[in-house]
Structure 1
Amino acid sequence: MGKIQLADGELNYQLDGPADAPVLVMSNSLGTSLGMWDTQIAGLTQHFRVLRYDTRGHGQSLVTEGPYSIEQLGGDVIALLDALHIERAHFCGLSMGGLIGQWLGINAGERLNRLIVCNTAAKIGNPDVWNPRIETVLRDGQAAMVALRDASIARWFTPDFAEANPAEAKRITDMLAATSPQGYAANCAAVRDADYREQLGSIKVPTLVIAGTGDAVTTPADGRFLQEHIKGAEYAEFYAAHLSNVQVGEAFTQRVLDFLLAKH
């Protein structure tokens, strides 16, 4: 684990893998931490220097006044790369991390080699979904986070996976209960306000879109929209709900490796 100093606080990160390997940045979903990628690390570090971080408002990173924006969170990624003297990297983000990836592809493509956006959409939900959640979390604090944890199992995993893997489902959903209510609400606003439907055509880096067949939050149709509007994008779909990397584990890792190691 390490920390870099931003203008308004510290961003927590972790580097794994050979020091001389190409860098792959992994960006967490709303309400999790860099630990959501644990399943992928053994496979990915055979080929890459994996740079995980806790998005602002999550894990051990800074919690600042909200609302946040995806532009702000993307700026944190650029600051992280700059602080570690990384000129270019691959980027893989899931859900909110996928929105950050879209922003980077649109606005900072020169910093990316290849882009992977997972279980995400060009626009996720609408204010009718996000505003009541923000209000509840800011009003009820940690109690609201615990309630969200209990409700999230059905969104994040298919019922058969949650039943067969209770310890892993608990490990991931406990991250949500431990998330700062202020940080969570501020990130909900960032997701609420992001809309890249008209800008996807400006993404020029090779892109892979990953979706989950059972994902009700960001559906396969959302994934197909991304693929169709990002020139040359590849598409993969797994039997999973919202956290496909956790649910299908090794198959997810292998698809990422196939994409990153292919000779384009």
Structure 2
Amino acid sequence: MLTKRTTPYTRQKEFPGTFNVLNNTLVCLFCGHSVSWEHKVSVTTHTYNVLSVAESKKTVVNDLVKAFVEANIPLEKVNMLQPFLRKHCREEDLKDFFREKTVSIIVDETTDSRARSVVNILFSYRNNTRLVAVDYLDNVNNVTIGQLIIRTLIEWSIPFSFPRLLASDSAAYMKKSYRELLKPIMPQLLHSPCLAHILNLISLAWTSIPHFDLVKTLLANIKKTFVLTKARRARYLLFLSRNGVQNPASVPLSVATRWNSWFGMAFYVNDYYQYLRISIWKGKKMILMK
């Protein structure tokens, strides 16, 4: 029986991690469909059905892995099943879900183990995000990216007036593709560059400013001193311990693909500069004495 206190929010609390409330509507996090919240039996039935489907998918994955292991087939060979799966497994359910929906588009370009450019396109609608296209491009630029997005929208029966948001990295070609190819035919589309990528570009840019050349050279030389010399790192830790340093730690060497590691090394060198200077000087003195 519906009481005055029953609302979509109270139903959401009764089924934690299963539903979200959007515009006073109870929306399933698993399938993205709205659910009648007035009667608890309706919510319970939907929850049971959707969790059963999720569990069955998990069972399929586990059974597939088990079958490959028992047959002594490397899991990397699972990609060879793609033609078979595409022929005999239906994708229409996923296409029906996104068809004519106000989707958000997520685009990301990466490289595979063979250094080929791979572009992944995902659609997101009501907290449901799915991979809908994977394409290998010989040339990644504003034109090829725009063409791929437009072709994907057409294949998934999504009118150009429906997409609302394009999320991508902050690469120049992505911005140009949005500005010159996508925006003219989808004026309602907004572009949201990845904030983390923007911060990464800023962090990489400021280290190239001439004012920091001395710091860069210092860190590069320290890294060169320690990176391939395990014995020298051990002597340095022993030197710290003998000079009263509590819990001595080795130099956190910077990694080119992780700019925050550069800051970590810079802060460390700032704190331990005198120890590093004396330790390296003594190491060179020992070499000269030999």
More contact order relative to length (CA 8 Å, sep ≥ 6)? 1
- Same fold, TM exceeding 0.5? no
TM-score by length of 1: 0.30
Whose helix proportion is higher, 1 or 2? 2
